[in-house]
Each structure stands twice: as C-alpha cells, then as structure tokens.
Amino acid sequence: MIRLSARLASVRLTSIVALVLFSLPIFEASAQQQVPAAPAAQEPSAPAPSAAPAFPKPDPANFTAASPTKETVNTFIQANLGFDDNNIWQVQAILKTEVEGVSKVVVLIGDKSGKQKPYQFPFFVLADGKHIIVGDKIIPFGEHPFAEYRAMLQQRADGPYRGTALKDLEIVEFADFQCPHCKEAQANMDKLAVDFPKARIVFQNYPLIQHPAAARAAAYSACVNKQGGSNAFFTFVSAVFESQDGLATTDGATLTLNSAVAKAGLDPAKIAACAATPAVEASVEASVKLAQDLNINSTPTLMVNGRQIPANAPYATIKQVIEYQAKLDGVAQ
C-alpha cells in the first residue's frame, strides 16, 4: 500500500505515475490542510497573487517534431486537466530526440488564480503515438487516453457491483481489505452509489503481498458473493472494514472474517471451505492481474471509465472528475 502521506512527500513524482500528473492539485490541497497553523506572533505571509501566471511565449524553434501535433497534446491535457476550470496550461515544446519516432513534449501547467506556482510537465511520446514515458512508467496517450483501459475494464472487471448492469459509466474500485486507506475510502464509495445511481460501481479485489490476511479476506469475499449475491457481499465488506484491526493476527483474522460472514447471513464453515478452492484463488489472482495490467500500483484506486484516481481523494474532487469524464464520454448521468 502506498500511504497518502508518502504520496504527499513526493507529490511531484508519484502523482504523475498514479494519476497521469493531473490530479496533482488534489494532493497539494490535502497537504495544505494538514500543515499546522502558524504561531500568532509570526509575521503574516505575503498575499497570494490574484492573477493567472503569464507563461513565456513558446519558441518556434522548440517545435521540431512532426508528431504529436500541438492539437493532440492539448486534447490530451484537456482530457486530464479539464475537470477543473481553474487549470491552465501551455504547450511549450515538441522536440525531436535522438531516437527515431520518439518526441519530447514540455507543457507548462498553472492555475487561473495564480496561487499555484507554474511547473513544467515533460514527457516522451513513443513512436506508436499511443503511449508516453513519464519517469519510469509508460502510460496511455492521445486524444482519448483512457479508451484502452476502459475497454479492458468492460471486458474483465467482473467483481460485485452496485447500481446499473450497464457499463456506460463504470466506476471500478480496487481495494485491499487490510489497507487502512481503503477503509477510509468506503465513505466515498457509499456517497458515489447515492450520487450516481446510473453508474455501475464495481469492487475488485487487489490484495497486496505486504498484508498477510488480505488474500484470505479477498477469497472469503469472492465466496460470499458467490453464495449470497451482491447484497451479502457489500454487507461483508462493511463488516470487515469495520473490524479491520482484527486482521492483524491469524486468529484475529479468522474471527473477523467469520463474524463478517455471519453478518452477511451465511455459514462461515461453508465460506471457509469455498475460499480454499483453487477456483476462488484463481479468481482473486485474475483480479490482481487486471490491476497490474492497468498500471495500478496502490490502493485504494478508482478507475472511472478507464481514468485513474485515488478512491480516498476529497469527495468533491472525485465527483467532479466523474461528472467530467461522463461528459467526455457522452454518458447521461
């Protein structure tokens, strides 16, 4: 699990990987909320600027590559940053590199209020025109950067769901039962189920190897869904997260999982027997493989029609992103 505090500490790098950079203001806002108040005797800081930054005029000499076009880059940035009208950007360079077909792109990003210091977002566009390299990660690129992951989720996200059976607006949560931030994110998930009744909100298991009880809890959850359906499943989910501390020991995990199964109205002995079968183990492994294929490297993570965002981000921002993505995809809410 990558903890929120760790992301905040290295926000300029890790948020690029997890969120294709463009949810970076989410974490900066969270960091600001956690900074202690200044002592009363401290001199007041200078007022924040009230005007948008003036980006330097791009030099035509920095546009030496034929691909991608400035229009494609702008559309890509719009798809990612456009959920917040306060975001502004400018394509500063599209350069040839020493590698045939690989271009370097530099975008300046700021905000209209001028409160956020503008920063550079450099990346390399691969020869296929469909992927970029950011840091040590390869992520989708183009005018519709989330389409490939959206299709993958529509085909392979087979976890229990709330809402509609249709996949026009599909919100997929990847979670680990032993992850504290996943527990915190459940309040957001409950709100989403109320605010987006036309969405399909899917739970996918993503037990991480550093959590000894997570895979077992995932297997139990798969069996609860198999034997009791989605209502029993989400009752089980709530009960496990409520008693998450009990998963810390082997005996505690047994008591916690059995209690959650009973709350879901099922027989703990039958669920335990089911959870030990190869078929259930394979189903959990398939869910983990899906997360890995989607380049998800932390929990809790949401995929909104293929777009990645932390499930424990501020709820208002999550809702804003979902509404924007639905608009991009032409989905009625």
Mean pLDDT for the chain? Answer: 87
For residue range 181-213, list pLDDT tens digits in order. 999 999 999 999 999 999 999 999 999 999 999
Mean pLDDT to the nearest integer, 86-101: 96
Helix 214-242 / helix 250-263 crossing angle, nearest 10 deg: 60
- Return the CATH superfamily for domain 149-328: Glutaredoxin (3.40.30.10)
- Specify the pLDDT at position 278: 98
Q: Report yes or no: 323 and 192 within 8 Å, Cβ to Cβ.
A: no
Backbone φ and ψ of 263, nearest 5° = -65, -30
For residue range 246-267, list pLDDT tens digits in order. 999 999 999 999 999 999 999 9
- Specify the pLDDT at position 115: 82
Kindly give the residue spans of alpha helices, DSSP state H, lying in 129-178. Answer: 147-156
In this structure, is the dihedral angle defined by the CA atoms of residues 69, 73, 79 and 85, taken in order, positive or negative?
Answer: negative
Characterize the bridge pairing of strands 170-175 and 200-205.
Answer: parallel
Sequence spans of domains, the chain:
4-34+48-145, 149-328
Is a pLDDT exceeding 50 seen at residue 6? no
β-partners of residue 87 are: 111
Q: Which residues fall within 8 angstroms of residue 294, CB to CB, at 6 or more apart? A: 149, 152, 153, 303, 308
Quote the CA–CA distance of 178 and 264 in Å, as a whole number: 19
- Letter for the amino acid at 157? A
Is a pLDDT exceeding 90 seen at residue 245? yes
Helix 214-242 / helix 180-195 crossing angle, nearest 10 deg: 60
Mean pLDDT to the nearest integer, 35-60: 61
For residue range 121-154, list pLDDT tens digits in order. 999 999 999 999 998 888 899 999 999 999 999 9
pTM above 0.85, yes or no: no
Is a pLDDT exceeding 90 seen at residue 113? no
